[in-house]
A and B are shown apart, each in its own frame.
Chain A
């Protein structure tokens, strides 16, 4: 087993509502895994089960050779966790809090000082060490959380929406920290910002309604995304059914979906293609045979974002 974390059929019910539905995955050493999904998809619940905070309704979690039922302490020692919105004790000073975390996480008394120094430099906490946590801004609070998570130099870092609520500069800073530490550590983080996952993760997993709907290396996913293209067309004249009927006859078109329809009769649709072949010419010729007026026509290369939207779209 060179896998770091092994998850099998993990399931969690809350009062009959299924938040996570039989998720299985293997996460390897040194991987940076991005967990993507819309709000309420089960990302946070999955992470909370990995950290041992939630008890799974069913399924198994193994971290290295330990199971969460038999060796919760060993697993907790190996995992550094940054919960969503970093809820720390508001009345404690940053220094006091980090020292307390160092003690509980078993950092040897002789190393505590140097470890705190190191983390303060890494996370940029030097100026706020003697402020109460409750007085900190969102971004600073998040950095305290990151220092807390990395306190005992854990092999695995689990970060729940680490960049949520930060300004663009802070987001870049946090991402750089993740990249820096991601070279040696196994990192799992959840986000709903796709570009972030694209920029920082080796592997992306998309979760929707408690199930894994896509899982693969970032490069692979992007490559498969490039094969699918959307052709964006705005027309005056027809209704959706007519457009669908007409365009379906062009070979290579997979589906036609409505984007919008304005009051003055401009219908905007996306025609999806399965192949990488350029269908613009045949679509143009097809539309030329009708009396519709074309006001917009462009090809959109499918990005991760469109994959994400595809996989997690709610049926209307």
Chain B
């Protein structure tokens, strides 16, 4: 029943044995660190708002890069066949791989906890929005990881998986900035679809069930679609 844990462990080991994890984490830290601290002292405010404002667009490109190999690589070298003929269900495979992507996102965010700790020494930091922000970041990371896993399950080419995953995440991030293109009657619906919108609600420190349900539905739908894609493959 805990079969997915073996797959999860194997994928995590893969990330950290190969240079992928270190490269991705370094790039993520350099980009967020640079954009955040280059304006931080100008604003002269002890909060993490601009850090969290950046996250959706950075995740759009970083997370599909992390998840692109999860299925595509297996299809490409053929090991998917071996995986599927071992006693595991599609659910175990999909969830194990998704969980590995999510934990990788967590590992990426972990070093940034140094930012609020450092800020709390030099100013009066309100921890509520910071904790909300990290919770939101994990949910957002989970949703994008699920989308990335889905994209990876569609193709044996990692580059295509990355581009497809990024494109879907990009739309989810930007759709609520495009509201002026849509008729007024659809505005609420379109706004609800935007990942950015829900993420900002949570990162203000307000944990609303609507936002939680949004992220959990994106994760669930993407993973379910992945399962369907795998099931129909052979």
Contacts and interface: CB of A to CB of B under 8 A. Distances in A.
A43 B15 CA distance: 36
A252 interface: no
Contacts of B117: none
B23 interface: no
B87 A105 contact: yes
A55 B13 CA distance: 31
Contacts of A73: 87-89
Interface string B213-234: 0000000000000000000001
Interface string B64-98: 00000000000001110110111111000000000
A104 B82 contact: no
Given A85-B78, A89-B79, A101 B86 contact: yes
Contact of A83 (B13, B81, B89, B234): B81
B118 interface: no
Nearest to B76: A87
Contact of B86 (A55, A89, A91, A104): A104
Interface residues of A, number: 28
Interface in A77-117: 77, 79, 81, 83, 85, 87-92, 96, 100-101, 103-106
Contacts of A100: 6, 10
Contacts of A148: 82
Interface stretch (A46-54, A162-170, A230-238, A305-313): A46-54
Contacts of A105: 86-87
Given A101-B86, A105-B86, A88 B79 contact: yes
Interface residues of B, number: 20
B26 interface: no
Interface string A241-264: 000000000000000000000000
B45 interface: no
B50 interface: no
The prevalent SS among residues of B at the interface is helix
B87 A51 contact: no
Contacts, number: 59
B126 interface: no
Contacts of B17: 91
Most buried by A among B6, B10, B87, B234: B87
Nearest to B10: A100
B58 to A, nearest CB: 27
B65 to A, nearest CB: 18
Interface string A199-221: 00000000000000000000000
Nearest to A103: B6
Contacts of A28: none
Interface in A240-292: none
A100 B9 CA distance: 9
Nearest to B90: A72
B87 A104 contact: yes
Given A53-B234, A55-B234, A100-B6, A90 B84 contact: no
B81 A53 contact: yes
B77 A87 contact: yes
A52 B17 CA distance: 31
Nearest to B5: A103
A150 to B, nearest CB: 13
Contact of A81 (B13, B14, B78, B82): B82
- Of B10, B14, B77, B88, most buried by chain A (CB within 10 Å of CB) is B10
Contact of B77 (A54, A55, A89, A106): A89
B177 to A, nearest CB: 40
Contacts of B234: 48, 53-55
A87 B156 CA distance: 15
A242 B170 CA distance: 77
A152 B170 CA distance: 45
Given A103-B6, A104-B6, A77 B87 contact: yes
A91 B14 contact: yes
Contacts of A104: 3, 6-7, 86-88
A103 B8 CA distance: 12
B153 to A, nearest CB: 16
A90 B82 CA distance: 13
A90 B14 CA distance: 11
Interface of A: 48, 51-55, 72-73, 76-77, 79, 81, 83, 85, 87-92, 96, 100-101, 103-106, 148
Given A87-B78, A104-B7, 17 more contacts: A48-B234, A53-B84, A53-B234, A55-B234, A72-B89, A76-B85, A76-B86, A83-B82, A89-B14, A91-B14, A91-B17, A96-B13, A100-B10, A101-B86, A103-B6, A104-B3, A106-B87
Interface of B: 3, 6-7, 10, 13-14, 17-18, 77-79, 81-82, 84-89, 234
23 contacts: A48-B234, A52-B85, A53-B85, A54-B234, A55-B234, A73-B87, A79-B85, A81-B85, A83-B78, A83-B85, A87-B79, A87-B82, A88-B77, A89-B14, A89-B77, A90-B77, A91-B14, A92-B14, A96-B13, A101-B86, A103-B6, A105-B86, A106-B87
